[in-house]
Structure 1
Amino acid sequence: MKLVSLVGSLSLDSRTAKAQNVAAEAARKAGAEVEVWNLRERPLPIYDPENKVPNENVAAFIKAMDEADGFLIGSPEYHNGPTGALKNALDFVGYNQFNGKPVGLVAAAGGAVATNTLTQLATILRSLHGYVIPQTGSVTYSDNFNADGTFENPKLQERFEKIGTDVVALAKHLRG
Structure 2
Amino acid sequence: MSPLIVGIGGATRPGSTTELALKVSLAAAEAAGAEVRLFDGAFLASLPHYDPAAPRSPAEAEFIAVCRAADGFVIASPAYHGGVSGMVKNAIDLMEEMRADPRVYFDGCAVGCIATAYGPQGGGPVLAGLRAIVHAMRGWPTPCGASVQSAPGLFDTEGQCQDTKVREQLELVGRQVVAFARTTAQAA
TM-score class normalised by the smaller sequence: over 0.9
Deviation at 1:145, TM superposition (A): 1.1
User: Larger deviation: 4-13 or 99-108?
Assistant: 4-13
Select 1:156's aligned residue among 147, 150, 166. Answer: 166
Deviations, residues 10-65 of structure 1 (Å, cap 9, x unaligned): 222310010111110000000000000114235211111122x2310110010010
2:117 aligned residue (73, 98, 109): 109
Letter in 2 for 1:105: C
* Partner in structure 1 of residue 15 of structure 2: 13
Q: Which amino acid aligns with 2:124?
A: T
8 A Cα contact 1:8 1:83, kept in partner: no
Larger deviation, residues 34-43 vs 9-18: 34-43
Q: Give the match for residue 122 of structure 1.
A: 131
**4+ residue runs over 4 A deviation:** none
For residue 7 of structure 1, report the CA deviation from its aligned partner.
Answer: 1.1
Offset, 1:8: 4.0
Asked whether the 8 Å contact 1:107–1:139 carries over to 2, the reply is yes
Give the RMSD, CA atoms, in angstroms.
1.4
The code of the aligned residue for 2:176 comes to D
Secondary structure of 1:34's aligned partner: strand
Q: How far does the alpha carbon of each residue in 1:131-161 deviate from its partner, in whole angstroms, 9 at most, with x for none?
A: 0012011221326113332221111111111
Alpha-carbon separation, structure 2, partners of 1:153 and 1:103: 23
Question: Using the alignment, how far apart are the partners of 2:61 and 2:43 within structure 1?
Answer: 15
Match of 1:55 among 43, 54, 57: 57
Q: Match for 1:44 among 42, 47, 50?
A: 47
Which amino acid is the alignment partner of residue 120 of structure 1? G
Q: Which amino acid aligns with 2:132?
A: T
Gaps of at least 5 residues in structure 1 are none
Distance 1:39 1:108 in 2: 14
Distance 2:10 2:85 in 1: 6
Tell me how many residue pairs correspond in the alignment: 175
Residue 92 of structure 1 is matched in structure 2 by 94
TM-score (norm 2): 0.88
CA offsets 1:80-135 (integer angstroms, 9 cap, x no match): 00111111111111451310100001111020150011101110110111000120
CA contact (8 A) 2:79 2:116 kept: yes
Q: Which moved more, 1:105-114 or 1:86-95?
A: 86-95
- For 1:116 and 1:134, the matched residues in 2 are separated by 16
> TM-score, normalization: structure 1?
0.94
Q: Give the percent of matched residue pairs that are identical in Structure 1 and Structure 2.
A: 34
Moved more, 10-19 or 119-128: 10-19
Q: Secondary structure at the match of 2:105?
A: helix
Partner of 1:32: 34
Segments of 5+ residues of structure 2 without an aligned counterpart are none
Asked if structure 2 preserves the Cα contact closer than 8 Å seen for 1:74 and 1:106, the reply is: yes
